[in-house]
């Protein structure tokens, strides 16, 4: 049973890393400085970062040891979440990106409106660290 759980956890981390890499590519294509670094080709850990402007930075770390979301503004930590809460916040960011992309498709020029939506909404409703 424990071997099966360990294998499922490894697969979960690999899936999460692949999704982080894809999210970084999408954000970069739409004008947000974003990156996702992995160690080696096993995809068992990643460091994802995105700047939402105005010194607003999000860092998401994933590995076999844990999952962490950290949101900072002006080099000060606003919020730090771990585990399921961190993944929920990542889902919220991905949803905002989708809304921003959809809104940008409805207008001729994509960046300014979508960026304002992400900058205003990220971290909304969460408590500070």
What pLDDT, on a 0 to 100 scale, did the predictor assign at position 58? 96
Is 129 a member of any domain? no
- How many domains does the chain contain in total? 1
What pLDDT, on a 0 to 100 scale, did the predictor assign at position 41? 83
Is 33 a member of any domain? yes
Is 128 a member of any domain? no
What pLDDT, on a 0 to 100 scale, did the predictor assign at position 2? 95
| Tens-level pLDDT at each residue, the chain (129 residues) | 999 999 999 999 999 999 999 999 999 998 899 999 998 888 899 999 999 888 999 999 999 889 999 999 999 999 999 999 999 999 999 998 888 888 877 764 545 555 555 666 665 544 444
Is 126 a member of any domain? no
- C-beta neighbour count of 87 within 10 angstroms: 17
Helix residue spans in the chain (DSSP H): 2-29, 83-106, 111-121
User: pTM for the complete prediction?
Assistant: 0.79
In angstroms, rounded to a whole number, what is the distance separating the alpha carbons of residues 82 and 86?
Answer: 5
Rounded to 5°, the CA angle 51-41-6 comes to 95
Is 127 a member of any domain? no
Q: Which residues constitute the domain of residue 15?
A: 2-121
The sheet carrying 46-53 orders its strands as: 34-38, 46-53, 56-63, 66-73, 76-82
């Amino acid at each position: 049973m424990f071997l099966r759980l360990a294998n499922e956890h490894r697969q979960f981390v690999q899936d999460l890393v692949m999704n982080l890499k894809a999210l970084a590519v999408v954000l970069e294509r739409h004008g947000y400085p974003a990156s996702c670094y992995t160690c080696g080709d096993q995809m068992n850990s990643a460091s994802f970062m995105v700047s939402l402007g105005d010194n607003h930075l999000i860092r998401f770390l994933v590995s076999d040891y844990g999952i962490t979301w950290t949101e900072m503004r002006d080099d000060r930590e606003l919020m730090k979440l771990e585990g399921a809460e961190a993944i929920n916040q990542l889902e919220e960011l991905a949803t905002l990106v989708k809304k921003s992309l959809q809104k940008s498709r409805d207008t001729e020029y994509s960046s300014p409106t979508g960026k304002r939506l992400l900058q205003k909404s990220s971290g909304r409703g969460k408590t500070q660290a």
